[in-house]
């Protein structure tokens, strides 16, 4: 009998990851404000998105990126983007869960916290398809500036039925909304936009120009900025004109991106493209800003989800891999790194989901709404900046296996930077925090006081609160220190969030190592006294 070849024997390797409940594995998620009162629904979503089949769909959607077809087989211009069936399946699953609409649900109280918990789970499996869902979810905040448009589109946005067919929006039960803001010459400086809008009648215009980034180009309509006679103005541009013919959107190419590969981003030219005005002429930036809080929240929650999956994979590997007669997870140096990573995820999860819950608590006015406005850019800054370095450290725990494309980790690593760049890069959101603080000085003082009270008695809290008052609470605010202010506010808010939901020892460890005596690199912070607790909570098998 032939003996098996040594190379065919596989041992000391972890089993394939999958068919797990991503929610019940995650103690921090289940203890969060977002999961409170929704445990059954969150657990059901965790099982759905942790299945082997769902994880395979994430892989397939990224291995088969979208393809642009500018013309049909007969030579007619069509400007269609074709997606792999895995992408459409993921879109349908997320739409059925309300990821694109539950903040505007008419059958339930708006549930930003519950939606954020779902987004946190979905991003762990495949974050690219979330882009059009995020924009669709945020769009009604801008469309409110044109009540007639809102009445037309909101029922289709609220639909839980995904419809990926290339048809006029009025023939579809469910729609998605994309965006086109930036141009080659301006980027984040959208006031430099050169695209022009000419009024036809009432709030109907024709737009000529271009967009350097045109997000989710197979959406049913797009919020765009263009120069009208009174200045930069917001418009809603459908893929089909009201008479049913194709609108004047010419897709030039799809962007070859570092990550986010399942999602299409394009360059586009407008040739007398039909659009409706949203809001007053000259107030385009103010109109678009109504939705920015929601898209930035999604960036932060998605980043926390990417970090969570990276930690899960690192723990899964180290629990099954042995080196030097021990499991890797039991090696003291590795255990300290994993515990430090787990502490970071505890804080990121608590911070992102606590912020989402604030959106549920806040009305349009009052203290809670003001606090959400101030916290959102700071949390977006901190979590989106943290994700790439975090995922790199988790990748290292897998060694060479973490670096090869057959696993999930490289996709997480490529995906992580986009959240920091999209919807305001680091400097932009940090400066937005300072501007917001200048407009609402009373809210700054009450926010700092509330965070300090929530985290009372923890190491470094008083000094952190005092520093924040200097950085954003007075006339000495300086653009030079905008990033420092954003990071300081997010860290204090994370400490306060942990103090509300995590075991006291974990909140104390975070405050001690992130506020009182931060050391930087993972595995250099002193978390020895909570090491085993952190690791057991991070992958609660």
Following DSSP, what letter does each residue of 99-114 receive, concatenated?
Answer: TTTGGG-SSS---HHH
DSSP 400: G
Length reported for the chain? 541
d(CA 158, CA 136) in angstroms, rounded, equals 10
Average pLDDT over residues 255-272: 97
- 204-215 and 196-201 strand pairing: antiparallel
d(CA 479, CA 232) in angstroms, rounded, equals 26
| Cα–Cα nearest to 301, from 391, 380, 415 | 380
Spatial contact of 197 and 163, defined as CB atoms under 8 Å apart:
no
pLDDT at 8: 76
Q: How confident is the model at residue 59 (pLDDT cuts 50, 70, 90)?
A: very high
Q: Which residue in this structure is represented by tokens 């003291």?
A: 332
pLDDT at 332: 96
pLDDT at 539: 87
Assess whether pLDDT exceeds 70 at residue 4.
no
Average pLDDT over residues 502-520: 95
d(CA 286, CA 265) in angstroms, rounded, equals 24
Average pLDDT over residues 337-345: 98
Reported as a single tens digit per residue, the pLDDT across 305-322 is 999 999 999 999 999 999
Q: Does the predicted model carry a pTM greater than 0.85? A: yes
Assess whether pLDDT exceeds 70 at residue 233.
yes
> Six-digit token pair at 41?
């629904």
Assess whether pLDDT exceeds 60 at residue 118.
yes
Residue 124: how many other CB atoms lie within 10 Å: 27
Cβ neighbourhood burial of 78 (10 Å; 0-12, 13-18, 19+): middle
Assess whether pLDDT exceeds 80 at residue 450.
yes
d(CA 398, CA 408) in angstroms, rounded, equals 11
Q: What percent of the chain has pLDDT over 70?
A: 97
Residue 168: how many other CB atoms lie within 10 Å: 17
Assess whether pLDDT exceeds 60 at residue 369.
yes
Reported as a single tens digit per residue, the pLDDT across 176-221 is 999 999 899 877 888 889 999 999 999 999 999 999 999 999 999 9
Assess whether pLDDT exceeds 70 at residue 162.
yes
Average pLDDT over residues 347-360: 95
Residue 106: how many other CB atoms lie within 10 Å: 9
d(CA 258, CA 402) in angstroms, rounded, equals 18
pLDDT at 368: 82
pLDDT at 314: 98
Spatial contact of 33 and 55, defined as CB atoms under 8 Å apart:
no
pLDDT at 228: 97
Q: Which residue in this structure is represented by tokens 């609402």?
A: 440
Torsion (CA) 238, 242, 245, 248 in degrees, nearest 10: -40
Instruction: Report the range of poorest mean pLDDT among 103-117, 213-227, 383-397, 435-449.
Output: 103-117
Assess whether pLDDT exceeds 70 at residue 364.
no
Average pLDDT over residues 82-87: 98
Average pLDDT over residues 451-463: 97
Q: Which residue in this structure is represented by tokens 């579809």?
A: 172
Is residue 231 within a helix (H) or strand (E), and if so which, with residue range?
Answer: strand 231-238
Assess whether pLDDT exceeds 80 at residue 119.
yes
Cβ density class 385-411: b for 16+ within 10 Å, e for less:
bbbbebbbbbbebbeebbeeeebbbbb
Average pLDDT over residues 55-69: 98
pLDDT at 108: 58
pLDDT at 366: 66
Q: How confident is the model at residue 232 (pLDDT cuts 50, 70, 90)?
A: very high
pLDDT at 109: 67
Q: What percent of the chain has pLDDT over 90?
A: 88
Average pLDDT over residues 413-437: 95
pLDDT at 457: 96
pLDDT at 347: 98
Average pLDDT over residues 332-356: 97
Sequence-distant (6+) residues with CB within 8 A of 456 are: 499
Average pLDDT over residues 489-496: 98
DSSP 516: I
Sequence-distant (6+) residues with CB within 8 A of 262 are: 58, 61, 62, 65, 66, 83, 84, 86, 87, 90, 126, 128, 129
Assess whether pLDDT exceeds 80 at residue 472.
yes
| Cα–Cα nearest to 340, from 525, 490, 538, 533 | 525
Cβ neighbourhood burial of 265 (10 Å; 0-12, 13-18, 19+): buried
Average pLDDT over residues 136-164: 96
pLDDT at 465: 97
Spatial contact of 296 and 134, defined as CB atoms under 8 Å apart:
no
d(CA 355, CA 113) in angstroms, rounded, equals 8
How far, rounded to the nearest angstrom, does the alpha carbon of residue 395 sit from its chain's CA centroid? 21
| Cα–Cα nearest to 267, from 208, 211, 187 | 211
pLDDT at 3: 67
């Amino acid at each position: 009998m032939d003996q098996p070849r040594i190379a065919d024997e596989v041992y000391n390797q972890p089993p394939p990851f999958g068919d797990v409940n991503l929610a019940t594995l995650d103690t921090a998620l289940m203890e969060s404000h977002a999961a409170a009162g929704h445990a059954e629904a969150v657990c059901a979503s965790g099982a759905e998105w942790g299945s082997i089949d769902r994880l395979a769909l994430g892989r397939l959607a990224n291995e088969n990126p979208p393809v642009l077809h500018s013309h049909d087989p007969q030579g007619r211009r069509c400007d269609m983007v074709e997606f792999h069936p895995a992408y459409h399946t993921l879109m349908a699953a997320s739409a059925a869960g309300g990821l694109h609409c539950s903040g505007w649900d008419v059958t339930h109280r708006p549930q930003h916290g519950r939606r954020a918990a779902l987004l946190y789970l979905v991003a762990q499996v495949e974050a690219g398809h979330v882009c059009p869902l995020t924009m669709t979810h945020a769009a009604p905040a801008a469309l409110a500036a044109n009540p007639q448009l809102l009445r037309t589109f909101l029922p289709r946005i609220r639909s839980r039925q995904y419809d990926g067919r290339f048809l006029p929006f009025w023939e579809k039960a469910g729609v998605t909304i994309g965006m086109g803001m930036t141009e080659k010459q301006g980027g984040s400086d959208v006031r430099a936009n050169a695209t022009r809008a000419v009024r036809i009648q009432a709030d109907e215009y024709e737009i000529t120009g271009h967009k350097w980034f045109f997000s989710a180009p197979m959406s049913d309509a797009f919020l765009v900025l263009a120069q009208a006679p009174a200045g930069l103005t917001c418009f809603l541009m459908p893929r089909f004109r009201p008479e049913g013919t194709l609108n004047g959107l010419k897709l030039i190419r799809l962007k070859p991106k570092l990550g986010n590969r399942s999602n299409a981003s394009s360059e586009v030219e407008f040739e007398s493209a039909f659009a409706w005005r949203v809001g007053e002429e000259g107030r385009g930036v103010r109109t678009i800003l109504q939705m920015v809080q929601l898209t930035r929240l999604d960036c932060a929650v998605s980043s926390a989800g990417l970090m969570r999956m990276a930690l899960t994979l690192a723990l899964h590997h180290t629990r099954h891999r042995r080196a030097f007669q021990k499991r890797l997870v039991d090696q003291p140096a590795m255990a300290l790194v994993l515990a430090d990573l787990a502490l970071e995820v505890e804080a990121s999860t608590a911070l992102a989901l606590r912020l989402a819950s604030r959106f549920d608590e806040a009305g349009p006015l009052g203290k809670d709404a003001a606090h959400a406005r101030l916290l959102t850019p700071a949390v977006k800054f901190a979590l989106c900046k943290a994700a790439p370095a975090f995922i790199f450290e988790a990748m290292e725990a897998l060694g060479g296996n973490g670096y090869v494309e057959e696993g999930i980790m490289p996709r997480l690593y490529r995906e992580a930077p986009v959240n920091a760049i999209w919807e305001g890069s680091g400097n932009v959101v940090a400066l937005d925090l300072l501007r917001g603080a200048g407009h609402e000085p009373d809210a700054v003082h009450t926010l700092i006081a509330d965070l300090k009270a929530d985290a009372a008695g923890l190491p470094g809290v008083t000094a952190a609160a005092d520093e924040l008052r200097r950085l954003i609470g007075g006339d000495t605010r300086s653009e030079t220190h905008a990033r420092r202010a954003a990071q300081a506010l997010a860290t204090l808010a994370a400490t306060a969030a942990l103090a509300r939901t995590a075991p006291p020892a974990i909140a104390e460890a975070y405050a001690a190592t992130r506020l009182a005596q931060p050391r930087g690199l993972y595995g250099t912070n002193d978390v020895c006294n909570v090491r085993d607790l952190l690791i057991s909570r991070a992958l609660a098998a």
